[in-house]
Amino acid sequence: MDSLTNLTATEAVKYLKKREISAVDLVYAAINKISEVDKFVNALPTLAFDKAIENAKYITDNLPREIPRGYLYGLPIAIKDLTDVKGILSTKGSKIFKNYIPQKSDVLVENLQSKDAVIIAKSNTPEFGAGANTFNDVFGKTLNPWDLSKTCGGSSGGSAVALATGQVWLATGSDLGGSLRIPASFCSVVGLRPTAGLVSHGPTVLPFNNLTVEGPMARNVLDVSLLLDAQSGINIYDPISMHTNSVSYVDSASMPTRPFKIAYSPDLGIAKVDSEVLDICSKALSKFETGGSKVELIDSFFHKAEDTFQVLRAAYFAMNMDNVLKNYRAELKEEIVWNIEKGLDLTSKQIFNAELNRGSIVLNTTKMFKQFDIFVCPTVLTPPFDVNLRYLEEIDGVKFDTYIGWLALTFALTLTGCPVISIPCGFTKSGLPVGLQIMAPWNQESKLLSVSAYFESILGLRNKVPISPVL
């Protein structure tokens, strides 16, 4: 069974396609692995084994005549617990929904099931995805498999840990301020925040929101491309959804491309970054210079990014969760209450200025990409920290004003609207993972994946997972 869980997702799908293994084989392999390791890390608290076995048997016996792009042949996957799956407990990490079993799936789930993905579990998340340390009052903390005393990041922390420990081959996540990228960095896996609209989802009360996106997580770049092929596509319930690229993302990732000019900022001009993280990222970039790429340190244009993001995020919380606050205030964690109230107290001038500032960041990003192929910076300004800290309050004596202040390197790039990926780039002296963010121009996921595959091949960290939890 371990030989199956150690397969990459791409390898597993290849064997499924050739009928050398069956979807049922993979489901039972995943069940065994989950039973073996999840008691140590708490990544997949909601399990759907019976449904998964039933679906795998049906898929094995009923392959479609026409195979759609992104078809997964019965590969078991995990769905982040913010996303509704019909007939499966969907708590959103909140006591408010601790017994909620939806009667209809989100369109993202319906799309994946139409590609014959088998949902085997829901992955743990902070309450309503707020914050980048994965804990909640329903299921508790998810632990980092590289060091069980450390946070795995968030909010897609359960997905990242399930991938790193070999419990599933692919997992979904979502990203507002870094929720796909931060846990990818902390767990040494890959998380991709796509261009808004590429991965459709909904229905939602904010159908034109473009700050929050759904996206893929996997153990390597090629596997992320496989899930992106399955996830992407237009849907009537998502008015900003768009058609996929004509070329398969797997094909793009299968053709690694060396970038000619790389723009690099170690701190975006707005963050205090841990010295060991800086050193690891700098050494990673030096390998690309040796390979022929030109790396240029650029001046930051993100100096207003934190205020801008904090305002837009607070407005999003207020619009999306005002009724939740009115009806369930006592059951919400304090950070969410603060964030909703911050949004409700915003003035029109604050929102006006934030939108203008975001426009300036987008314009400067576009100008930058006229000179450079890609943009690179660290994913998180710190290695994984103590899981018992609700959030990071300071680094090297520099205090953060809010519970998301330490996410500056990811939420600043959210504002650009461009696709961003986090790939593993090294480990600290104590063995904790560090990730590197790579950003490409808007709607150029194919370019991003091709370049990321090149980076991955140079850095040589592709086969570091899955691992058993370090007890």
* pLDDT band with cut points at 50, 70 and 90 for residue 245: confident
Q: How far apart are CA 227 and CA 72, in angstroms?
A: 8
Element (H, E) at 430: none
Q: Is the confidence at residue 1, as pLDDT, over 80?
A: no
Number of domains composing the chain: 1
Q: Give the mean model confidence (pLDDT) for residues 373-381.
A: 98
Is 465 within a domain?
A: no
Is 466 within a domain?
A: no
* pLDDT of the residue at 140: 98
pTM of the model: 0.98
CA 388 from centroid of its chain's CA atoms: 22
Is 471 within a domain?
A: no
Burial tier of 44 (Cβ tally within 10 Å: 0-12, 13-18, 19+)? buried
* pLDDT of the residue at 218: 98
Structure tokens at 147: 């060091």
Instruction: Give the model confidence (pLDDT) of 169-202 as tens digits.
Output: 999 999 999 999 999 999 999 999 999 999 999 9
* pLDDT of the residue at 22: 97
What is residue 405's DSSP assignment? Answer: G
Is 267 within a domain?
A: yes
Q: Which of 22, 90, 94, 155 is catalytic?
A: 155
Q: Give the mean model confidence (pLDDT) for residues 312-341.
A: 98
Q: Give the mean model confidence (pLDDT) for residues 33-58.
A: 98
Cis ω before 466 (30° cut-off from 0): yes
Q: Give the mean model confidence (pLDDT) for residues 316-324.
A: 97
Instruction: Give the model confidence (pLDDT) of 134-178 as tens digits.
Output: 999 999 999 999 999 999 999 999 999 999 999 999 999 999 999
Q: Give the mean model confidence (pLDDT) for residues 64-80.
A: 94
* pLDDT band with cut points at 50, 70 and 90 for residue 63: confident
What stretches of 294-373 adopt beta strand conformation (E)?
294-297
Q: Is the confidence at residue 2, as pLDDT, over 90?
A: no
Q: Give the mean model confidence (pLDDT) for residues 17-46.
A: 97
Structure tokens at 188: 């040494």
* pLDDT of the residue at 52: 98
Mean pLDDT of the chain, nearest integer: 97
* pLDDT of the residue at 164: 98
Phi, psi of 352 (to 5 degrees): -55, -50
Calculate what percentage of the chain has a pLDDT beyond 90.
97
* CATH, residue 8: 3.90.1300.10
Q: Is the confidence at residue 248, as pLDDT, over 70?
A: yes
Closest Cα to residue 79, out of 169, 203, 180, 172?
A: 172
Instruction: Give the model confidence (pLDDT) of 407-455 as tens digits.
Output: 999 999 999 999 999 999 999 999 999 999 999 999 999 999 999 999 9
Selected residue with higher pLDDT from 1 and 265: 265
C-alpha distances in Å from residue 452, one per residue of 111, 250, 457, 459: 26, 12, 9, 10
Whether the CB-CB separation of 270 and 408 falls below 8 Å is answered with: yes
Q: Is the confidence at residue 316, as pLDDT, over 80?
A: yes
Q: Which of 179, 200, 225, 452 is catalytic?
A: 179
Whether the CB-CB separation of 1 and 63 falls below 8 Å is answered with: no
Element (H, E) at 171: strand 170-175
Which residue range(s) make up the domain with 28? 2-459
Helix, coil or strand: residue 200: coil
Query: Is 80 known to be catalytic?
Result: yes
Is 400 within a domain?
A: yes
C-alpha distances in Å from residue 38, one per residue of 85, 141, 145, 172, 199: 21, 12, 10, 18, 29
C-alpha distances in Å from residue 181, one per residue of 143, 436, 462: 17, 9, 16
Whether the CB-CB separation of 116 and 158 falls below 8 Å is answered with: no
What stretches of 94-165 adopt beta strand conformation (E)?
118-123, 135-136, 140-141, 143-144, 147-151
* pLDDT of the residue at 463: 87
Is 402 within a domain?
A: yes
Radius of gyration of the chain (CA): 20
Is 470 within a domain?
A: no
Is 118 within a domain?
A: yes
Q: Which of 22, 33, 80, 92 is catalytic?
A: 80
Query: Is 155 known to be catalytic?
Result: yes
Cis ω before 155 (30° cut-off from 0): yes
Q: β-strands 433-439, 374-378: how paired?
A: antiparallel
